[in-house]
């Protein structure tokens, strides 16, 4: 009747545990221990919060939408937001995001559309400056 049951501790083990002579740890089978730093957990939480926020439109972008008679459907807005998320995942801070025939410059860290234009815009050149990446959404 001298069977060993790992869930019971001897008096010496309990005494050692409470007197800090030894630390008793019981291995948990089937559980993988993950070591994540506080900063990586914080970064993930901040990224999730940024991704869940709706895009903001700057005054300039709102004026360009109005001046150029650009209307954005909810489906296009969702694709624009997904493009912003993809740009953020790639480390892009100022992104050109193309949605159908529309072009948006988005400040990814601030979650803000800076300007917008459509393909039919009458400007002579369609040159985009001060961007560090582009997404076709």
Residue 26: what pLDDT?
58
- Computed over every residue of the chain, the mean pLDDT equals 81
How many independent structural domains does the chain possess?
A: 1
Asked, for residue 43, whether it belongs to a domain, the answer is: no
Provide the pLDDT confidence category of residue 125 given band limits of 50, 70 and 90. low
Asked, for residue 66, whether it belongs to a domain, the answer is: yes
Q: What are the b/e assignments for 11-24, b being 16+ CB within 10 Å?
A: eeeeeeeeeeeeee
Residue 136: what pLDDT?
94
Residue 47: what pLDDT?
73
Provide the pLDDT confidence category of residue 28 given band limits of 50, 70 and 90. low
pTM: 0.64
Q: Six-digit token pair at 30?
A: 């089937």
Residue 50: what pLDDT?
67
Q: Which residues pair with 118 in a beta bridge?
A: 102
Domain of residue 62: give its range: 54-136
């Amino acid at each position: 009747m001298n069977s060993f049951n790992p869930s019971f501790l001897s008096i010496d083990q309990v005494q050692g545990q409470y007197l800090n002579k030894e630390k008793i740890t019981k291995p948990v089978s089937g559980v993988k221990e993950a070591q994540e730093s506080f900063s990586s957990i914080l970064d993930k939480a901040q990224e999730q919060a940024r991704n869940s926020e709706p895009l903001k439109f700057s005054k300039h972008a709102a004026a360009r939408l109005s001046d150029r008679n650009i209307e954005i459907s909810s489906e296009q807005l969702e694709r624009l937001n997904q493009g912003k998320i993809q740009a953020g995942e790639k480390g892009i801070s100022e992104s050109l995001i193309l949605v159908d025939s529309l072009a948006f410059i988005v400040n990814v860290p601030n979650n803000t559309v800076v300007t917008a234009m459509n393909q039919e815009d009458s400007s002579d050149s369609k040159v985009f400056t001060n961007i560090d990446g582009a997404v076709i959404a």
